[in-house]
Structures are given as C-alpha cells and as structure tokens.
Amino acid sequence: MQFTINGHAVEVEADVRTSLLDLLREQLGLSGTKKGCDQGACGACTVLVDGERINACLALAVQYQGRAITTIEGLADEQTLHPLQAAFVEHDGFQCGYCTPGQICSAIGMAHELERNVPSVVTADLTAQRIAFDHDEVRERMSGNLCRCGAYNGIVDAINATFGR
C-alpha cells in the first residue's frame, strides 16, 4: 500500500484487514496516534486525511491508499510547535495527555470543516484560519473526542485562541 504520511511517500506491505490505526502505530511506529476504545467512540485515534478528520480505528488502511494522511507527528517541525499545540500548552488543554493528539487533529479538521462553510477564508494550509464560533459550538463540534480527565475548558480555550476571532 502507498500513502503520503506527514508529507513523506510511504510504501508498506499490510494485510487488507489492517486498520489505519494499527498500520500507523504497529507498522510505521507512529505511536502518537492513540488507541482508546478501538471502536469509534472516543476519538483518541483521530488523524487527518486530506485535511478531514477520521477515526483511524474504524478505517481500513487499504481504503486510504494514495491519500495524504497527517498524524500528530506531522504538525510540528523540529523547532516549532503547531500553533494549536502551543495553545494547548498555554491553556492547560490536557492533564494525562492521552487524548491530546486526537483532540488536536480533530480540532484542525473541525477548523477545515468550518472554512468550507466560509469560502472567503478557505486555504489548504493546515495551520490556522480564524473563524467565528462560540464555546458551545466548539464543544458540540468536538463532542467525538472524549477527555477522561475533564480538561474540556482548557481544550476549548486553546481551540478558540488558535482558530476563533
């Protein structure tokens, strides 16, 4: 199977029954994407496929051949955190951190979904467009990502600080 993962062409042999999550974690060593429930209920496994967020535990890797997949490892460069990662640090958007990669990928996907509804601010950039939304809308749109520590206020604050206006 061939993919573009975090900007790099990747070719890997895998059983056609392999989930995208297991391919990333077990075969490619990209363990930043977490396995929580493994059945689509927690959002810990969220990654971006061509900018759209998906639960990698529910996806067969074979379905996503040829697509551009971004995981948490693909957001920062060696020197600089992605603005949303920095905002999570600044706003205490985590406690144990297990859900954080999924929360961050999901929030970036959410911002892209909103951009599609606001054509004047559309870009293909994964960084940040500033979009008007309120606290409740963020909570609703991020409801697929659970945080067992209950760091939701910090998570929403970080998302608003990055993408809100």
Binding site residues, ligand FES, CB under 6 A: 35-38, 40-45, 55, 57
Nearer to ligand FES, 113 or 135 (CB): 113
Compute the least distance from the CB of residue 146 to ligand FES, in Å.
Answer: 8
Minimum CB distance to ligand FES, residue 91 (Å):
24
Q: Which residues of 24-43 are buried (b: 16+ CB within 10 A; e: fewer)?
A: bbebbebebbbbbeeeeebb
Decide whether 135 or 139 has the Cβ nearer to ligand FES: 139
Contact 85, 126 (CB under 8 A): no
Nearest to 69 by CA among 19, 118, 111, 143: 19
Q: Cβ 59 to ligand FES, closest distance in Å?
A: 9
* Cα 43 to Cα 24: distance, rounded to the nearest angstrom: 15
Nearer to ligand FES, 69 or 131 (CB): 69
